[in-house]
Structure 1
Amino acid sequence: MPKSKTTQSLLNTSVYKHRNLLKFCYFLLAFALLSCGNDTKTKNAGDANENATTATETSETTSNKTILFFGDSITAGYGLDDTNDAFPGIIQNKIDSLGLHYQVVNSGVSGETTAGGKSRIDWILNQDIEIFVLELGANDGLRGVPISETKANLQAIIDAVKAKSAAIKIVLAGMQLPPNMGADYTTQFKAIFSDLASENNLAFIPFILKDVGGIAELNQNDGIHPTAEGHKILAETVWEVVYPILVASEK
């Protein structure tokens, strides 16, 4: 049966509307896909920028040279509420305030002897080090370890550092003992450090506890370990020797 003109017109209109609806749907779909693509590009760009920033920060951190403090409880900051108050932490603050590119590594172990330091030096030297500050010997002296043994252990540590790299600058911190250890022993003990510094051509801190050792108000109740105030003075003593090396290495 032939369709009337009215029916045909309605069909045409319906088809037209249907086609327009499909076109509109395709348009929405295309727009959505494009939007997703733009969002992905924006996200990827953001991730790339974030990764670049992180890489830059990491690069800046890893570009810092290392100054390693290898010592006993004095270096470790024994008895302090915050180990950052120990002299290596104070040195780090000084370095940061001057914008020098150095990172302090505190490798102090309470109770450490020169024999203990000798046994762990190879592991410590697995990292790159620019400046090595050696502060060991006090516990040997307090235990009455033979002078020759203490000196040999310190020399072995120095040799290990030099074998790692001749470019590492070594700073030797001297130590002194209270007189109750006997005049001969204390005199020979004190000479260990100056002799090693001279024999190995090392930067030398004659007495790391200068203006702190034996002063009650600058030491904890045991009379041996510095207080936070004592560490501030100790840091100045170390800084006098270490600072010129830091500046020279920056050039």
Structure 2
Amino acid sequence: MSKAENNQLRLNVLTSISQKLIKFCYFLTVLLVVACGDRTTEKKTAEVNTEDVSEQTETETSGTKTILCFGDSITAGYGLNDTDDAYPGVLQRKIDTLGLDYTVVNSGVSGETTAGGKARIDWVLNQDIDIFILELGANDGLRGVNLVETTMNLQAIIDRVKSESPKTKIILAGMQLPPNMGEEYTSDFKQVFMNLAEKNEIEFIPFILEDVGGIAELNQKDGIHPTEEGHELVANTVWKTLKPLVTP
């Protein structure tokens, strides 16, 4: 092969390679454009779907009023197989039976003290609340917490609810202690709730464990937390105060 033929062959090879490279680059560019377009479309679709869900949620919940039960293990339903059997769940079933447009929210935390409730109240108030049931203080009493501190914490919670949601109706659930805590302390402890209810002019349940506290068959083995049957009675006690606020 002559030198001229050899040069021509090299030129043909290079030209072929260049053409293939150009086609590959073009294909890669198109692929990237399509891929980016798909991601953009997916993003837009996700945004639209999110907006749709948000609007749907607002539509579904806008007409529903909220009853929030803010408390400790009594509210949380400690020891029950199903927390829906705790008194907030029983209240919901009573409300549903009457066809009332209320949703009961269980915001109970086992072991919660009034100090713990005070610490988390701002987070809870991020939602609209029509009726606020405050059930805290038992763990303070069982630990012998200074009653001045308990009173101040409960007052702080009430103040926050009134400040952030002035139209919210507050129900304070009173608590009593077993006699082994000392006569003076148990008497003063009981009075804390009565004084707060009177001072703040709010609805009051004198003793949320009425007809349940101290009755062995209505409490679990620890003698403190109600059984399912016990929670039915607790719900009945709460309902006496709650019913006039939710029924026409």
TM-score by length of 2: 0.77
Ranges in structure 2 where 5+ consecutive residues have no aligned partner:
1-51
SS in structure 2 at match of 1:84: helix
Deviation at 1:165, TM superposition (A): 1.8
- Judged with a 3 Å threshold, the aligned counterparts in structure 2 of structure 1 residues 235 and 224 are, in CA distance, closer, same or farther, namely same
Query: Does the alignment pair 1:210 with 2:199?
Result: no
SS in structure 2 at match of 1:159: helix
SS in structure 1 at match of 2:247: helix
Deviation at 1:59, TM superposition (A): 2.5
Match of 1:180 in 2: 180
Query: Any runs of at least 4 consecutive aligned residues in structure 1 with deviations exceeding 2 A, and if so which?
Result: 55-62
1:70-85 alignment runs, 5 A limit: 70-85=70-85
Match of 2:6 in 1: none
- The separation in 2 between residues aligned to 1:164 and 1:66, in whole angstroms, is 15
- The separation in 2 between residues aligned to 1:125 and 1:64, in whole angstroms, is 17
SS in structure 2 at match of 1:99: coil
- The separation in 1 between residues aligned to 2:60 and 2:246, in whole angstroms, is 18
1:131-210 alignment runs, 5 A limit: 131-210=131-210
SS in structure 1 at match of 2:106: strand
- Judged with a 3 Å threshold, the aligned counterparts in structure 2 of structure 1 residues 57 and 156 are, in CA distance, closer, same or farther, namely closer
Partner amino acid, structure 1, of 2:187? T
1:1-251 alignment runs, 5 A limit: 59-248=59-248
Deviation at 1:61, TM superposition (A): 3.6
Could you report, residue by residue, the CA deviation over 1:114-150 in whole angstroms, capped at 9, with x for unpaired residues? 0000000000000000000000000000000001000
Deviation at 1:60, TM superposition (A): 4.0
- The separation in 2 between residues aligned to 1:114 and 1:246, in whole angstroms, is 27
Could you report, residue by residue, the CA deviation over 1:90-124 in whole angstroms, capped at 9, with x for unpaired residues? 00001111111101110000000000000000000
Count the aligned residue pairs.
196
- The separation in 1 between residues aligned to 2:131 and 2:105, in whole angstroms, is 10
Identity %: 68
Ranges in structure 1 where 5+ consecutive residues have no aligned partner:
1-51
SS in structure 2 at match of 1:69: strand
**Higher alpha-carbon deviation: 182-191 or 57-66:** 57-66
Deviation at 1:166, TM superposition (A): 1.3
TM-score by length of 1: 0.76
- The separation in 2 between residues aligned to 1:80 and 1:138, in whole angstroms, is 19
